[in-house]
Structure formats: structure tokens, C-alpha cells
């Protein structure tokens, strides 16, 4: 007989990580996961394309932070993980592919000699030889990535490199993104007495240069979802959208389209705007903070070209496109060069993205129009004029939360309000610590630990 019942709402990677932690650490707890859709995984989906398991969104995860790698190790998947085959990337600037300087940290070049002619103005390259002290003392608390990098490394480094890389991660504008959430290591380095560049160089000197930055699973990121789901068994209920939440003396009443479920505690692992609606009647201030988290919508198209029509250099993993480049696409990953398991002899596989927090053109296009627009950009950037053998378009509306400076404080305020008004309820997801899979796993894991302590 279970000693308590905890419901997790949402079977994206955050909810699955929370459920896994609850089950593993608390075998006497009855855990139920309620998922609105017909399949689990949320924004993680792998499906066959050109005969290969090609991810429709996330295809890999950062291994320089622990949470995803630790979970894979716990699940026995670590030996199966693979590192990218090709690692060099470029930025489409001034109508050409300009290689990203190496080494760099989030686009900030650590060695001025690695900066190719024409990438940055001479005075900015000269500045990169210095310590990277801010133009004027940095204010306390959270700052935007733009404030930090512009002040310590100059506008050109920010606009031509950092904004393209970091803004690309969540389809946002790095001038408006919290440095504390998006790049805490930059904030710490910028505030160190030695200066941003000197601190980054010291950190880099201690790192293993051969260690991969990302890992993937050869069956796609869906394999991580499948493994977690396999451990849940019939505790996962699909087609079960949660429509209301209420608390009474017996505990939490979780309303679904199929009836009401009773729980001692609830982990809400849904997008912030869904959590806001559910929390509205329970704690208006927390709901308001959640409702104010903006989301960007993106689309991702997979293309397969005949190698005779397009050949990309084997050591290149792809390129990024700045928002002012006049193109429609935002990035192109050479999936078949980057990942050995997606390499095919006769075809070249690309994954091409569109959409930003302030660029909604893709959302208004049907699939044919969208793929034509992207193919047009591929003709400009890669010179491929021949039609692709196959194209697959995946839509991800309101998928990438945007973290304005001060975000962590607002999340802490939500936790405080809920601790008083809604004991046993925790809201979590990609909107908390960052959109990356490791950050989501961390968020789910922390939420699981937090609710267990309340019941
Ligand atoms: C195109 C794209 C590419 C990406 N690439 C990468 C990458 O390469 N590496 C990386 O680390 N990250 C990547 N990300 C980010 C990462 O995939 C996501 O941030 C992460 O998967 C979000 O997980 P989540 O569980 O927080 O949210 P979601 O995946 O959105 O899961 C929330 C779940 O809640 C369910 N739900 C919603 N409402 C209800 C309700 N009322 N009742 C019950 N269930 C409900 C949803 O159906 C969904 O299953 C990418 C994202 C996108 C969009």
C-alpha cells in the first residue's frame, strides 16, 4: 500500500525526469503522470526521415553540465551516447560563411589570433588580447547577456558572435536575455577581478580540449524519453489533459477530462502559460508571473539532398544566421556530417530552422511555402539549386521561453507564494532554469525533491 500519491502533470522531459526521481527515491510513493497528448516526450520527438531516426527538435544535449549525462548514466545509456563527428561551425556574415573562432566561449574568442580577417573590426580584435574588464563597473543583480558582453568585449563581439549563438539557443535576442539564466559562467567571469576574458581563458586552460560539448543517442533523443517511459509502465496516462486544480482537506483535486484524481502533491511540468491558467484560481500573483513569460515559436525542416547536388565539408557541423542577414532561416545543421549515425553515403541530411521571438513569418506559411522559403535560403548559402529528395517540416509553436533579466528572482517569488498558498504544489519546466535538456532534467529533479518534502 503506497504511503502517498504524487501526480506529475506533463510527460515532457521535465515531467519524466521528475517522475523518475520520485519513483527511484521513494518506492513507497504512488506516482501518476498525466499527459494531454497521445504520445509522451513533449518537445522531444524522433521519427524516421530518409530511412534514419532524425529528431524533429532537440537532437543532443550539453555535457559540460551534469544533469542529462547523470540521468543517462543512471539509466545505463551512457555507454551508448555519441559525440559529434564534425565540430567546427560558421556564421553567415556579410554574405559568406565565416568560421567561428576557436577556442571560444559562447562565441567570445579567447585568442585574438584565431579571429579571421574581416570578422571583427581591428579595435575589437585588439581588445580581445586584454583582460576584458567592463567599460564601467557592472551593476549588481542580474544583467542581460548584451549588457555583460558589450561592456567587457565590445559591441561587435556581441552582435556578430554571441547574440547569434546564444540568441539562437532559444530564438531570442540576447540583449533582452538574462545572463544569470542563459550564461551564468559569463556573469561570474565578468564580475571576477581579473576580467571576463582573462577569467574565461583561465577556465578554458583547465578544461580538456578533446572533451565533447554535446552528446546524442544514435537512436535519437526519443530514446531517452522511451527509456524513462518504459520505467513508468501504466503510471503514465496519455490523452489526459489536466483542466483544473483545487485543494481541500483531503489534498489536491486534479481535474482531467476523464474525472478528478486525488493527490497529496502535484508537480506541474507544463509550459508556463499552461501553468498560469491552472494556478490562476489558486495564487493570482504566481499565475501572473508565469503568464508573463514570453515564448518564441519555431519550425524545423529536415532536408535530404543527393550528394551530387550538394556536398558539405565533412568537418563542418553547420552554420548560424544572424537576424539582420536578410534571410528567412536561422540556422542549418549538417546532420549527416555532425553525427556519424546520420551519415549516408549518397545523401546529405540537413536540419534547417526558422522563427524567432520577433519573427513569426514561418507560422503563417503552409508547409510547401515554408520549405520553398528555406530551400531558397539554402540556394543562397550553400549554392544548392537542385530540389531535395525529401523534406519534413515540424512545427513548434510557443516552444521556447524567453528569460528576461531578473527571471530567477521571479521564479523564487513564485515558489514563495506557492509555499504559503499551495503546499505540495510545484511548477517546473523549461521556463525555470533554461530550455536545454539538462536544465529541464535539473528542474524536474528539483521539483520532485521539493514536493516530497511537503507531504
Ligand atoms: C526546435 C527545437 C530544438 C531544440 N533543440 C534542443 C537541443 O538540441 N538540445 C537541448 O538540450 N534542447 C533543445 N531544445 C529544448 C528542449 O527540447 C526543450 O526545452 C525541452 O524538451 C522542454 O521540455 P519540458 O518537459 O519542459 O516541456 P515540454 O516538452 O513542452 O513538455 C510539456 C508537456 O506537458 C504536456 N501538457 C501541456 N499541457 C498539459 C495539460 N493541461 N495536462 C497534461 N499535460 C499537459 C504537453 O503535451 C507536453 O508533453 C529544443 C527545442 C526546440 C523547440
d(CA 350, CA 332): 7
Cβ of 298 closer than 6 Å to ligand 1, yes or no, is: yes
Residues of the chain with pLDDT under 70: 1
Reported CATH class of domain 4-43+219-293+403-452: alpha beta
Cα distances from 26 to residues 20, 71, 205, 449, in angstroms, run 10, 17, 41, 10
Distance of CA 386 to the CA centre of its chain: 32
Cβ of 44 closer than 6 Å to ligand 1, yes or no, is: yes
DSSP, res 139: P
Nearest CA to ligand 1 atom 52: 57
296 bridge partner residues:
400
Q: How far apart are the first and last CA of the chain?
A: 16
Asked if 59 and 217 count as a contact pair (C-beta separation under 8 A), the reply is: no
Residue 197 Cα to ligand 1 midpoint, Å, equals: 34
d(CA 135, CA 174): 19
- pTM assigned to the model: 0.97
Q: Which residues have a Cβ under 8 Å from the Cβ of 233 and sit 6 or more positions away?
A: none
Cβ of 43 closer than 6 Å to ligand 1, yes or no, is: yes
In 430-446, which positions are buried (b, 16+ CB within 10 angstroms) versus exposed (e)?
bbbbbbbbbbbbbbbbb
Bond before 103 cis per omega within 30 degrees: yes
Asked if 69 and 222 count as a contact pair (C-beta separation under 8 A), the reply is: no
Domain boundaries, the chain: 4-43+219-293+403-452, 88-206, 296-401
The DSSP result for 386-436, as a single string, is SPPSEEEEEEEEEEEE---TTHHHHHHHHHHHHHHHSTTEEE-SHHHH-SS
Residue 42 Cα to ligand 1 midpoint, Å, equals: 5
What CATH number labels 88-206?
Answer: 1.10.3110.10
Q: What is the pLDDT of residues 329-347, one digit of tens each?
A: 999 999 999 999 999 889 9
| 393: phi then psi, degrees, rounded to nearest 5 | -105, 130
Say what the alpha-carbon torsion angle 367, 372, 374, 378 is, to the nearest 10 degrees: 150
CATH number of the domain at 296-401, out of 3.40.50.300, 3.90.660.20, 3.40.1160.10, 3.30.1050.10? 3.90.660.20
Distance of CA 302 to the CA centre of its chain: 18
What strand order describes the sheet that includes 88-93? 96-99, 88-93, 316-320, 329-333, 347-354, 295-306, 390-401
CA angle 187, 193, 195 (to 5 degrees): 60
The reply to whether 4-43+219-293+403-452 and 88-206 are identical in fold is: no
Cβ of 401 closer than 6 Å to ligand 1, yes or no, is: no
d(CA 393, CA 45): 13
Amino acid at each position: 500500500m503506497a504511503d502517498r500519491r504524487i501526480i506529475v502533470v506533463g510527460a515532457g522531459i521535465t515531467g519524466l525526469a521528475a517522475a523518475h526521481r520520485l519513483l527511484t527515491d521513494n518506492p513507497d510513493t504512488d506516482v501518476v503522470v498525466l499527459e494531454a497528448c497521445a504520445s509522451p516526450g513533449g518537445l522531444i520527438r524522433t521519427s524516421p526521415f530518409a530511412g534514419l531516426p532524425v529528431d524533429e527538435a532537440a537532437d543532443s544535449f550539453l555535457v559540460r553540465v551534469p544533469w542529462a549525462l547523470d540521468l543517462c548514466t543512471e539509466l545505463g545509456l551512457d555507454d551508448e551516447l555519441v559525440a559529434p563527428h564534425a565540430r567546427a561551425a560558421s556564421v553567415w556574415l556579410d554574405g559568406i560563411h565565416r568560421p567561428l573562432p576557436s577556442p571560444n566561449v559562447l562565441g567570445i574568442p579567447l585568442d585574438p589570433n584565431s579571429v579571421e580577417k574581416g570578422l571583427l573590426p581591428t579595435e575589437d580584435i585588439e581588445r580581445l588580447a586584454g583582460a576584458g574588464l567592463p567599460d564601467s563597473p557592472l551593476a549588481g543583480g542580474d544583467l542581460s547577456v548584451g549588457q555583460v558582453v558589450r561592456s567587457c568585449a565590445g559591441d561587435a563581439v556581441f552582435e556578430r558572435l554571441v547574440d547569434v549563438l546564444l540568441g539562437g539557443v532559444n530564438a531570442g535576442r540576447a540583449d533582452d536575455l538574462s545572463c544569470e539564466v542563459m550564461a551564468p559562467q559569463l556573469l561570474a567571469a565578468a564580475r571576477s577581478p581579473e576580467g571576463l576574458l582573462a577569467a574565461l581563458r583561465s577556465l578554458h586552460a583547465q578544461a580538456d580540449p578533446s572533451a565533447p560539448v554535446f552528446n546524442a543517442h544514435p537512436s535519437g533523443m526519443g530514446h531517452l524519453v522511451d527509456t524513462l517511459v518504459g520505467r513508468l509502465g501504466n503510471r503514465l496516462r496519455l490523452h489526459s489533459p489536466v483542466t483544473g486544480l483545487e485543494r481541500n482537506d483531503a489534498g489536491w483535486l486534479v481535474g482531467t477530462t476523464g474525472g478528478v484524481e486525488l493527490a497529496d502533491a502535484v508537480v506541474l511540468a507544463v509550459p508556463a502559460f499552461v501553468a498560469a491558467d491552472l494556478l490562476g484560481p489558486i495564487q493570482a500573483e504566481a499565475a501572473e508571473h508565469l503568464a508573463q513569460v514570453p515564448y518564441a515559436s519555431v519550425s524545423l525542416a529536415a532536408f535530404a539532398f543527393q550528394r551530387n547536388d550538394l556536398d558539405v565539408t565533412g568537418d563542418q557541423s553547420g552554420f548560424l544566421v544572424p537576424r539582420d542577414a536578410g534571410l528567412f532561416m536561422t540556422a542549418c545543421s549538417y546532420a549527416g556530417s555532425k553525427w556519424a549515425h546520420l551519415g549516408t553515403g549518397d545523401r546529405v541530411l540537413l536540419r534547417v530552422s526558422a522563427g524567432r521571438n520577433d519573427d513569426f513569418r514561418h507560422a503563417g506559411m503552409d508547409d510547401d511555402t515554408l520549405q520553398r522559403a528555406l530551400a531558397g535560403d539554402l540556394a543562397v548559402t550553400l549554392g544548392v539549386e537542385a530540389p531535395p529528395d525529401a523534406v519534413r517540416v515540424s512545427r513548434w509553436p510557443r516552444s521556447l521561453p524567453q528569460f528576461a533579466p531578473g527571471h530567477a528572482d521571479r521564479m523564487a517569488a513564485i515558489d514563495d507564494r506557492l509555499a504559503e498558498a499551495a503546499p505540495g504544489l510545484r511548477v517546473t519546466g523549461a521556463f525555470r532554469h533554461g530550455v536545454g535538456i539538462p536544465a529541464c532534467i535539473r528542474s524536474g529533479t528539483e521539483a520532485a525533491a521539493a514536493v516530497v518534502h511537503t507531504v
